Structure 1
Amino acid sequence: METPTGIISALITGCVIGLLGRLVVPARRRAPIGCLMTVLIGLLGAALGLVVASGIDAGWLLTLVLQVAIAALLVFLVSAAGARHPR
């Protein structure tokens, strides 16, 4: 019975990390992305941050900071890729 709770906690973590990542990126640099993309970016940022934090044996606070920083970078990259440039 632990698989559903693991999936739910991963989705909640992805939402929180994705929203924090979106808050870090300045509004003028952000293209509108949907809720699903925010969750996906948050999940990816949380996973990559956890891998980096495990590699350097970081505590929980540094792990959270790394996850949010990676999610913010991903939000910035996705926004830059999806932004429309005037011709």
Structure 2
Amino acid sequence: MEITGIITAIVIGVVVGVLGRLVLPGRQHIGVLWTIVVGIAAALIGTFIAAGIGVADTRGVDWIELFIQIGLAAVGVAAVDRAKVRV
């Protein structure tokens, strides 16, 4: 993977992670790095799911893919938040 691909993954991870946190009500007790990690994972998994159901290759913005990624990020942020509270 090239450096531009890594930087792009981090930027998309930040955006998806932050949007996932905004979807959840209340305050989440996780840091910025966890948000980025969850966002990157949600973006990758969401892309694979969107490709699997055939909605990843559309003209313009892939809204369905983005909504899948944000939903996965919200679930991931909630899971990390719960795991950190119990530890």
Query: TM-score band, normalised by the shorter chain?
Result: 0.7 to 0.9
Letter in 2 for 1:77: A
Matched residue, 1:82: 84
The structure having more radius of gyration, on CA atoms, is: 1
CA RMSD of aligned residues (A): 1.7
Matched residue, 2:16: 17
- How many residue pairs align between the two structures? 82
Matched residue, 1:48: 45
| Separation in structure 1 between the aligned mates of residue 76 and residue 70 of structure 2, nearest angstrom | 10
- 1:22: Cα distance to partner? 0.5
Aligned to 1:27, the other structure's residue is in SS state coil
| Separation in structure 1 between the aligned mates of residue 24 and residue 8 of structure 2, nearest angstrom | 25
Structure 2 gap ranges (5+): none
More helix by share: 1
Aligned to 2:2, the other structure's residue is in SS state helix
Letter in 1 for 2:84: G
Normalized against structure 1, the TM-score is what? 0.86
- 1:43: Cα distance to partner? 0.3
Identity %: 41
Q: 1:66 aligns with which of 43, 68, 81?
A: 68
Matched residue, 2:34: 37
